[in-house]
Amino acid sequence: MHKNIFFILLLSIFTLLGYAQENTEVSFFDNNDSMLDLSEYLSRAYGFMPIPSVITEPAVGYGGGAALIYLHDSFIGRKGKSGRNIPASISGIVAGATENGTWLAGAFHLGYYLDDTLRTQTFVGYPDININFYTNRGDPVLMNLSGPALYQSLKYRIGGSDLFVGLGYSYIDLTNTIKSKNTDNLPEGSFVNSGLHFLVDYDTRDNSLSPNRGMIFNANLAFFDKAIGSKYSYRRYMFQELLYLPLFKTLFFDQRFYYSLVSGEEAPFFSYPFIQMRGVPAMKYQGEKVAQYEAQLRWEFHRRWSVLGFVGMGRAYGKDKFFPQLPEIPFKDADTIVSGGAGFRYLIARKFGLRVGIDVAASEEDSAVYIKFGTAWMGL
């Protein structure tokens, strides 16, 4: 399987190269060092472009997908009146599937308007996900979650600062079907989850693709209520800080802090936060509250090549997602989940600072291989 991952990565790159070659004559090698580089191709990219993708999430198995995107401007964006570089707005359709039968299809739009004062995100799609949830005894229960989903957000820049505030709305008409032995009579059925999100972003990164310095802070305060069509009334809060710090010219330290909680007696099991780290399957360690910390050290031993190591730890605690009447687990008594690993990066587009590579990660019970295009951590 790991050999297949390398093959898919190479196939993804050469699919893009082949598409570009059919549409325009560009060089795929840097004039400075004669090494593989997509800067010239990306500089000219405009209009429709196919993007293959690789799925390596251990919770759903290996898989792949593709997107057909439309760049409303050139990939490099344009200079605004403020002198700030404005990214290109992007629209697209996407589809993907994995070896355990999970699949997703949808359409999206990322918009940058009013001289990058207004940013929007739109997604409409249909996920059909087969994934294990875990009881309070740690027993896996295979469930299928499927249904139409919608997300829309608008964020507004405050003055000329790096601070954005905004609103979002999420909706999913979900059907939950248990596909394995259900000894605990866990819930099944269909229900609507509808929520209003209050959003705050503060972003000083030098590069959103593969940052070397700066930080980003995200806050997402979500309110789900019957008054706006939700079957359950509850609240979910998420906070994240990503820090990128150059220690020396070729040595870089990155860290991530993430905290999330749900509040409300009606919070459904799938809304409970879970530990999200490389090497840990999604949804395996859930709790009413989750706190986690990750650190990464990257050494750029060559102008194109870097190696890195990373470690993370997290705890899921509070009420049980299936049996909230059980005694709460305090933070000090919760199990500490630890994961770590190593990887490499190649500077595939020097002008944009974009790096690609592979990470190998492991926790106490699981391991995984990840294909990385850009930073390992994304904003909320």
Backbone angles phi, psi at 15, to 5 degrees: -65, -45
Residue ranges per structural domain of the chain:
110-373
- DSSP, res 329: B
The region of weakest confidence among 42-46, 232-236, 269-273, 297-301 is: 42-46
Structure tokens at 184: 């605990």
pLDDT at 22: 53
Q: How far is Cα 111 from Cα 161, in angstroms, rounded to an integer?
A: 19
Backbone angles phi, psi at 40, to 5 degrees: -65, -40
Q: Name which residue leads in pLDDT, 174 or 42.
A: 174
Q: Is the pLDDT of residue 273 over 60?
A: yes
Question: If you ran DSSP here, which 8-state letter would residue 340 be given?
Answer: E
Half-sphere exposure of 209 (CA within 13 A, CB side): 15
pTM of the model: 0.87
Is residue 255 over pLDDT 50? yes
pLDDT of residue 1: 40
- pLDDT number for residue 183: 58
Q: Could you read off the pLDDT of 148-204 as tens digits, one per residue?
A: 999 999 999 999 899 999 999 999 999 999 888 765 667 788 889 999 999 999 999
* Fold entry, domain 110-373: Porin (2.40.160)
pLDDT band at 111, cuts 50/70/90? very high
Which two three-digit tokens encode residue 62?
A: 């290996």
Whether pLDDT at 2 is above 50: no
Pairing of strands 234-248, 251-263: antiparallel
Question: Is residue 6's pLDDT more than 60?
Answer: no
- Looking at residue 189, its pLDDT comes to 84
Which of 184-188, 301-305, 340-344 shows the lowest per-residue confidence on average (mean pLDDT)? 184-188
Lowest mean pLDDT among 13-17, 96-100, 199-203: 13-17
pLDDT at 375: 86
Lookup: tokens for 342: 């190593």
Tokens of 265: 């007696």
What type of residue sits at position 112?
Answer: Y
Residue 252: strand pairing partners = 246, 298
Nearest CA-CA partner of 328 in 318, 342, 315: 318
pLDDT on residue 77: 67
Tell me: pLDDT of 12 over 60.
no
Average pLDDT, the chain: 87
Mean pLDDT of 335-347: 96
Query: What mean pLDDT is predicted for residues 2-31?
Result: 54
The pLDDT score that the predictor gives to residue 266 is 85
Tokens of 211: 């940052």
Residue 104 to residues 64, 65, 97, 145, 177, Cα–Cα distance (Å)? 11, 9, 6, 11, 17
Q: For residue 7, what pLDDT is reported?
A: 42
> 210 or 337: whose pLDDT is higher?
337
**Is 95 a residue whose pLDDT tops 80?**
yes
Percentage of residues in the chain with pLDDT exceeding 70?
89
DSSP state of 331: G
pLDDT bucket at 371, cuts 50 / 70 / 90:
confident
Highest mean pLDDT (candidates 5-14, 66-75, 172-181): 172-181
Interior angle at CA 222, CA 140 and CA 95, nearest 5: 60
Closest CA to 371 of 37, 65, 28, 42: 65
11 has pLDDT over 50: no
Cα distance between residue 363 and residue 120, in whole Å: 36
Q: How deeply is 293 buried, as exposed, middle or buried, from its count of CB atoms within 10 A (0-12, 13-18, 19+)?
A: middle
Q: At residue 291, does pLDDT exceed 60? A: yes
Give the model's pLDDT for residue 4: 41
Contacts of 285-288 with CB under 8 Å at 24 or more apart are 285/134, 285/314, 285/316, 285/335, 285/337, 286/133, 286/134, 286/316, 286/321, 287/315, 287/316, 287/317, 287/318, 287/319, 287/321, 287/329, 287/334, 288/261, 288/262, 288/317, 288/318, 288/319, 288/321, 288/328
Q: Which of 66-70, 173-177, 261-265, 320-324 has the lowest mean pLDDT?
A: 320-324
Residues of the chain above pLDDT 90, percent: 54
Question: What is the rounded CA–CA span in Å between residue 206 and residue 353?
Answer: 10
